[in-house]
Amino acid sequence: MTFPTLTRAAGALSLLLAAGCGTPHQPANLEPATRGGAYQAQYRLPEGRGDAGALLRSAAMNLERCADGAGPIANETYAAVSKLSGDIPRGLGGELLSRGDLVDLRVPQDETFTGTFVVSRDGTLKLPFIAPVPAQGRTTEQVASDIRAALVGGGFYAATPAVSLLVADFAPAHVAVAGAVFEPQPVQIGGVSGDRIDSLRQSALGASTEARNLSAAIRNAGGVRPDADLARVRLTRGGTNYVLDLRGMIAGSAADDVMLLTGDQIHVPSRHCFQDNLMRPSPISPPGISLYLSNLTQPATGNAISAIGQTVREVPYGTRFMQAVVDANCVGGARATSANRSAALFSRNPVTGVSVVIERSIEDMRARADRDDYDPYLLPGDSIACYDSGMTNLAEVGRVVGTVTAGLLVPGL
């Protein structure tokens, strides 16, 4: 082998060893994530050796940035809050009619007015021979009362007739959801697909639904963000604003889960701070988190072997970074060669839209007593990349060096 060939081989070996053994740069972020100034304080860099397990401060640091609101979300406050919030505001309670609802009208021994009718686009119920009756946002009894009056006033009956008006089927409602939710957008709630229709219920008189509740609309808009002010959720209906307290939905106590109508607008305000106690499954939380994953080399040699889907993997809402790292098969293996790995979390501040990258030594997190203080919660759309240990990197370097050297030793090169 000629001297130039040896020189090229030595240079390649040096570069590969440097790449395999070099210390990676700490990720750079626009937000001061390393000092606890990002969306959640758990993003900050671990301090010391983690012996002070009793001094967990992330939750308190998060709440320090809260704007004026109803105070920290704490379990012990829910009973008092529920008592103070009182009944659902007048005009929102009960099952109210909305555009598209199917109703069954019956007037005894009267085929002209007996039948099924749909609440029209303009919110009225149109019956033969009488003026349209307002129906949007009203109860069936209120509408039936107006029908009785119209039948008498139109000269069809001398005395007030018996009138029965029942909902035969609730139509889907089209509402708008904005503010501190993960996917602010117009949503349709309450629809039932054809393969799920219950024929017995369809033929029965009367109807009921929970699918048009406020909680369903918020969940269809991605669920509330951890910075949401649940004590001041605004519902706008017909030009009137109502303020609802939904904090009970997080704790499983009473809350103003009203039935929505087409045209309603919901706005969830923000407290501009991360509230750890909102990171739990609930009727208004995201249904789960779809994680984007990048696999490691060993011990899993491919996504199929790791049981990782083509693009994403689902984890429950409230999952933390280290739980997802375990779920992605980034932890464990032979201590001598595979244990000392690291993992990076790619996230985005949902308030500012600014991205952040957090890298953790898996073994350091495993050994720390205060690991929870630096173990961030996962948010929808997050990505995780796993990196192999230094020993695995060297083994890969050795394999590549062998391939390169073999190529350089080919006669004529």
- With tokens 């090169």, the residue in question is 413
**Residue 124 CA neighbour count, 13 Å, CB half:** 11
What are φ and ψ of residue 229, in 5° steps? -100, 90
pLDDT, position 332 = 74
Q: Please give the single-letter amino acid code of residue 6.
A: L
> Which residues partner with 347 through β-bridges?
356
pLDDT at 128: 94
How do strand 124-125 and strand 102-106 relate by DSSP bridges?
Answer: unpaired
Per-residue pLDDT of the chain (413 residues; tens, 9 = 90+): 555 555 555 555 555 455 445 555 678 898 998 888 899 999 999 887 656 555 788 999 999 999 765 544 444 333 333 333 444 565 677 789 999 999 999 999 999 999 999 999 999 999 999 999 999 999 999 999 999 999 999 999 999 999 999 998 899 999 999 999 999 999 999 876 555 555 656 666 667 778 899 999 999 999 999 999 999 999 999 888 999 999 999 988 878 889 999 999 999 999 999 999 999 999 999 998 888 776 555 545 555 555 555 556 788 999 999 999 888 878 877 776 666 788 999 999 999 999 999 999 988 898 888 899 999 999 999 998 888 765 454 445 455 455 555 555 555 55
Compute the distance between CA of residue 341 and CA of residue 296 in angstroms, rounded to an integer.
9
pTM: 0.80
Give the C-alpha separation, 271 to 252, whole Å: 21
Q: Rounded distance, CA 339 to CA 405, Å?
A: 29
In sequence order, what are the beta bridge partners of 328?
Answer: none
Contact predicate 309/290, CB 8 Å: no
- Contact 278/317 with Cβ under 8 angstroms? no
Q: What is the pLDDT of residue 323?
A: 92
SS3 241: strand
CA distances from 84 to 22, 69, 91, 250, 255 (A): 60, 15, 19, 17, 11
Specify the pLDDT at position 86. Answer: 43
Per-residue pLDDT, 74? 44
Say how far apart CA 19 and CA 310 lie, in whole Å. 29
Residue with tokens 């790619």: 346
